[in-house]
Structure 1
Amino acid sequence: MSGAFRPALLVVDLQEDFCPPNGSLAVSNGRDVAPVINQLLAAPFVIRIATKDWHPADHISFAANHEGKQPYTDYVKVVNPHNGAETEETRLWPVHCVQGTPGAELIPELNVGQIDKIIEKGTDPRVEMYSPFYDPFKSPRVYDSGLVGVLREHRVTDVYVVGLTADYCVKFAAVDAAKEGFRTYLVEEGTRAVDAAGWPTCRRGIEEAGVKVVSMKDSEVSRLMTAS
C-alpha cells in the first residue's frame, strides 16, 4: 500500500469576489492563477474538487453585520453555538460570496468541466469556516462538509491544494488535509495571499503543520503530469 499514489486536486474558492477587477474581497493578481490551475486539472487526478464560499447575507464574518466594525482591521469573538465555553477570534471581511450572487460564482477562466464535485462552505451564519473540511470548533463541531469522507471513498493518498486565498482558506484546506492523514502539497503558483507581505511567515507555519509547499517545476507536480 505504501506505493499507492491516488492524488486529488482541491481548487479552493476561485470565485469572482476574490478576483480583480470587481471582487468585493479581491486579491491582487487573484485571477492569474487560473492557467496554472487549468494545467493541473488536465492531470490524471482520482478526483478534482472545487470549493465555494457560499455565505448567507447575515454571516458572522461580514463587518457590515457588526455595528461600528471595519473589514480587514477589526476582529470579532465567535462563540460555539453549542458550547459557550469554546470561542474563536476571527477577522472581519467585506460582504463576499453571498449565496446566489454573481460574486459567489466560480470565475469563467476556470475549466469547470474538469471539476468532478463542488463543495459549498461557510453556509452556517454563526461560524467562520475557512477550511472546506469543517469549522474550527471541536466540542462539538458545528459543521462538517463531508469532504474527508469523499476523499476516503476515492481512496485518495495525496491532496494537491490551489486557489484563493493562500493565507486563509487555502492554508486551512491544506493544514486540515495533512491533519487527516493525506500527503498534502500546496502548489505555490496556483495561489495568492490576501496579505502578500506576510506570506513567507504564513508559508513557514503551513510547512510546520506537515504540508509541503511545492512549485510547478518540482517532482511532486511533474510526477502528476507523467502519471498514466
Structure 2
Amino acid sequence: MYRKYFKRVIDFVLSLIAIIVLSPAMVTIAILVRTKIGSPILFHQKRVGKDEKIFTMYKFRSMTNEKNENGELLPDNIRLTRLGRILRSTSLDELPELINILKGDMSIVGPRPLLESYLPYYTEEERLRHSVRGGLTPPEVLYNDFTPTWDKQLEYEVHYAKNVSFLLDLQVVCATIKGVLARNNNDYGSYIREEIWDIREKRKDV
C-alpha cells in the first residue's frame, strides 16, 4: 500500500513544501552559479527512471564549459569549480531535483537516476533498481558508503527496491542528514568516479 500509493503522495507534498521553503536559498544559489560559473544556471540531462522510462533531470551547474583547442570539453576534474565542489559536498546542487519529484519523475528516497547509456551494463538482477522511482537521496547513505563501487551501489539499490517501506525511507532520510556532514568533511565534492562501462569492460578482458 505504501509503495503503490502513499509514497507518491508523501513525495508530492514534501517536495512542494520544500520548494516553497527553500526558494530563497535556490534563488541565491542560482545567482552565485550565474556569477561564478556562468550560464545556463541549470545542468539538465536525460536519466532513466521507474520502469526504465527516460526523463530530464535538473541540477545546479557545478562545472564550466571549458574546452581544448579541438573544441572538446576538458576533463571533469579540471572543469569542476570551487563553488561546484561546495554545492556537491553539501548536496545543494541537487535542489532543482525537487521539481522532478513534484512532477513524478523521481522520489525523495530511491536509487540514483543514472544515464541511459548505463543500461547495457546492468545484470538482470541490477535492473530491478528501476522497479521504483529514482531518488534525491540514495539508500547507500544507510551504510555510510559515500563513494561506493558500482557493484556496491547497485547492490544497495536492488536491496532497497525489493524492500521499500515507510520505515526504510525514514531511516534513509535520517542517515542523509548525518551523511551530508560526513560528505562535506571528506571533500566529497571533488570525487569523480570511473564510468561503469570502463570498469565492466575491463572485467570482460580479464
| TM-score bracket for this pair, using the shorter chain length | under 0.3
TM-score after normalising by structure 1: 0.26
Structure with greater strand share of residues: 1
TM-score after normalising by structure 2: 0.28
Structure with greater helix share of residues: 2
